[in-house]
Structure 1
């Protein structure tokens, strides 16, 4: 029977305080490396403990099960995006931000995350495991893509309400912009499409063209050219 994601023993918030410790971070870094190397079935608490340089009982005390470690590993992975920085923009009156500058900074955050956090390898892992373990894809989306899209949507909504852009459907627009970037910078790599098969444009060109396309649709009609 599939594990109940709402079970107290599996809930992401379980032992939250202790999971922020240096020992917990060592365990999560070790577990991420192992899961990426050998997949979900190829990892157990003993291997995680050995890689982290801690006792198996320590891993168990902090997380309780391999599934709980994997869920926490996904949460740890997405935390590297720095969503707090994007959220903070809402507190600095994003309505006054230049739309092109904001989109460029947001794209830079996405590109940095992809380049520095094994996002391509982690996405491949999720795709491989989710056919047999559907909760893997659900949690990967819930912990990462969903809050990212929601926060970006909130930014676009505030800019639209201030008249900086004209966007009646900010959630749709947020996903449109993400799609314009990810089509070139992540999916060819996830699918391991070789450079000889797919000629990819430079990343900076991808970003600038995405911004131009987005603003050609969503800039107010009375905006100066």
Structure 2
């Protein structure tokens, strides 16, 4: 494909995913047909079916794109636990702060009783790959000798949980809950500080944010 056609295809893909998200929230997953999504997004049915042959494939794409990060996706190199966790933490806070992430969780929670496969897709295509990248980073730091972590799964869960429990989960439960960029940065810094204090061999602490 030429660069022009690639751009057009990506634009149509974005329109389709935006329309699908809105319809899933408005009508529910079951009552939303691919034909209705095509109509809402303004693309032909042929175009939609070419990119997404099924509603399940479309939802998988929603999950994958919601969990993707705009910056370099690879974990930071091992050697400085404070700097590395800072990068990961800020990426995670930015990711959770997106409206499409909140929308995705609302869809999954609302449809869970009838469509548990949506939760499975969310876990296997979104949450788990992201978790594994953080787990791999901590394991690399452990092998480098900068931290001593006996249970890497628990350590990764603790770190991500300290961030998500403040900047994300209340948005699903508390009307009007908003977290400023400054507050999110503070939450990340405290999560880094706590994790470093618990696991760092050197006892290094993060530098104050400026």
Is the deviation greater in 117-126 or in 150-159?
117-126
Using the size of structure 1 for normalisation, the TM-score is: 0.76
Ranges in structure 2 where 5+ consecutive residues have no aligned partner: 1-5, 206-210
Residue in structure 1 matched with residue 55 of structure 2 by the alignment: 66
- Counterpart of 2:30 (choices 38, 41, 47) is 41
Asked if 1:155 corresponds to 2:144, the answer is no
Runs of 4+ displaced beyond 6 Å: none
For 2:155 and 2:124, the matched residues in 1 are separated by 20
Ranges in structure 1 where 5+ consecutive residues have no aligned partner: 1-17, 196-200
SS of the residue 2:74 aligns to: helix
Q: Which has the higher contact order (CA 8 A, sep 6+)?
A: 2
Residue in structure 2 matched with residue 95 of structure 1 by the alignment: 78
Q: Deviations over 1:95-141 (max 9, x none)?
A: 22x21121121111111112234212211211111111110001001
Q: Deviations over 1:1-23 (max 9, x none)?
A: xxxxxxxxxxxxxxxxx9x9423
CA RMSD of aligned residues (A): 2.5
Residue in structure 2 matched with residue 139 of structure 1 by the alignment: 121
* Preserved contact between residue 197 and residue 203 of structure 2 (Cα < 8 Å): no
For 1:118 and 1:107, the matched residues in 2 are separated by 19
Residue in structure 2 matched with residue 217 of structure 1 by the alignment: 198
Residue in structure 2 matched with residue 14 of structure 1 by the alignment: none
TM-fit CA distance, 1:69: 2.0
For 1:194 and 1:32, the matched residues in 2 are separated by 21
For 1:163 and 1:153, the matched residues in 2 are separated by 15
Question: Residues 36 and 159 of structure 1: is their aligned pair in 2 closer, same or farther, counting only changes over 3 Å?
Answer: same
* Preserved contact between residue 121 and residue 190 of structure 1 (Cα < 8 Å): no
- Counterpart of 1:27 (choices 16, 28, 35) is 16
Using the size of structure 2 for normalisation, the TM-score is: 0.81
Question: Residues 171 and 207 of structure 1: is their aligned pair in 2 closer, same or farther, counting only changes over 3 Å?
Answer: same
- Counterpart of 2:168 (choices 186, 191, 201) is 186
For 1:25 and 1:105, the matched residues in 2 are separated by 27
For 1:60 and 1:203, the matched residues in 2 are separated by 39
Residue in structure 2 matched with residue 115 of structure 1 by the alignment: 97
Question: Residues 85 and 62 of structure 1: is their aligned pair in 2 closer, same or farther, counting only changes over 3 Å?
Answer: same
Q: Deviations over 1:50-97 (max 9, x none)?
A: 222211232223322223322222223223x24x824263xxxx122x
